[in-house]
Structure 1
Amino acid sequence: FEPLPLKMPKLDWFSLAVFGQMCVGALSGFEYVAILAGECRSAAQTIGRSIMISAPVISLMFILGTSSVLAFLDGQPINVIGPIPQTMRAALGVSGPAAWAAPFAIFLLIGRAVASASLIFTGLTRLPMTVGWDNLALRWFSTLDPQWRTPVHSILFMTGLVMAFILLSMLGVKEQEASQVLTAASVIHYAIAYVMLFALPLMGRRALRSRLPVWLKIAAAAGLVASSVSLFVGVYPIVDVVSKEEYAVKISSAVVLSNMVGVLVYRWGRQAGSRGKSERRGPPADQREGTGRS
């Protein structure tokens, strides 16, 4: 077992596609700090401390976990949906006292998946609510439940959108390809947002750029390059697919259609906002007490 195998990757499209998913998929997520900071106590201190503690632990888990998968499945096809149970079955076997390990790992992974999906869904439903408050989209998204103070219309909208993506990704393909289609489409959507984010310190307003330190601009340039690579190689499959062309078309169509829907929602919201400019910005008076008691 080699805990930290060092090897130069092959210079091909597959390695570039994996690199792209790692850059955006594994290194993103800090935007949830801004989304959920209003629902935390002493957000700056608590979140900063949690990042300093968790970031090294998470990095070590990814490195050692990947090394374990390579050690026990070297040369075998890796199931991208469940590599950890697959590795534990290969390491401990499917009979005897150790046979319970893989089902237990699956149980833990399901719990982690539920928690992760809940966090992501919470963040996603807060975004339409906020832009509804600012009249950048339909104010319908900002309606809160009178009892639980959660954005009920935003939750319904995101639920329908998620279900539509799941159903479309499963048409005519196997489970690994369906999972990869959802992952790749998510990475591309993330990459689009991060390209815009990292471009601001480099190509934003001069008043903004003049106030930023050089080290921040260098970091933004590195992030811009990594996000751009992820954006353009996201249509390349890293698993066996029925048709690479259909795979690329399916992902590209999902990204284009979803952004077209976003543009339409934005325009409707702006039109509604222009008709009601007399309304104050921000949440209505009856919705200021906070959102999302859980």
Structure 2
Amino acid sequence: MTNQPVFCPKCGNEIKPDAKFCPKCGYAVQEVRQPVESAPMPQSTPQATDYNSSRTSDSIASVKRFSGNYFAWYLETLRHPSRPLVDANRFFGLTSMVVESLLMVLTIVSLIQKVRALVVKSVGTEARDMMAALDINGVIVKTGLTIFLLIIVGYAIYTAIAYGFRQALTPEHVDFWDFVNQFAGVTNLIMILNLITLLMSVITSSGNFSGLTLLLIFMVPSNVLMSAAFIFIIVNDVQRARMDKFYAVLLAEVALTVVFSIFIFIVLNIFWGSLVGYVQNVSGIWR
């Protein structure tokens, strides 16, 4: 009986006996032991009178299933961050990284808006008219989108380097999307930290410099957690290592430093040109 296959009760896809999530549809499976003969048969498609309406209903149902199973996976990773859930939907980890990045960008944009409001209160009428002519709100939106893309690239760098050194460390193959889910599972606590920081930025007064400083300090734990997760995910549960784990982590940290240095150098050069153009525009309007 223990060798009989198990199927997802939602889509009928064959899963592992100890799987908690269906790798195909992401359904939260606890302990399903369904023999082959009782696997759900595909249902015949009824004659739909409104194809668009049926497709919309299916899409909404899929989104609800994905979101519900995602929150179940998220709570499980909070309880046991170091326990890999290899049967989770392949996009759960990517979803966490996008949400964490979005929360961080919203916090940064909120801080920029508060600084802008403080500057507007401090300057005269002429300077306020100049700032209105420069479309500051549009600049802030573009800055937020740019920061969002940069954070996503930063996540990609962390994940790619960690995955590369994990593959180099052990002869056992690790599926990339399973690895992304494991990495996100270890760092899912960052989402809560980013959410708290965002709420603090909303309720903090624009003239409260101590509150703004506290917000910047509160972002530090996220960076610490990311660094710890980067090291942990490379060596976690490695049974057979090709090299000493210490040297693997050391080389990974060196590679991360070099790649991020190059990345920051490129970004600063691009932003420097944009900043020079913006300052020249401000100077022309001021004259």
TM-score (norm 2): 0.33
Higher-Rg structure is: 2
With normalisation by structure 1, the TM-score equals: 0.32
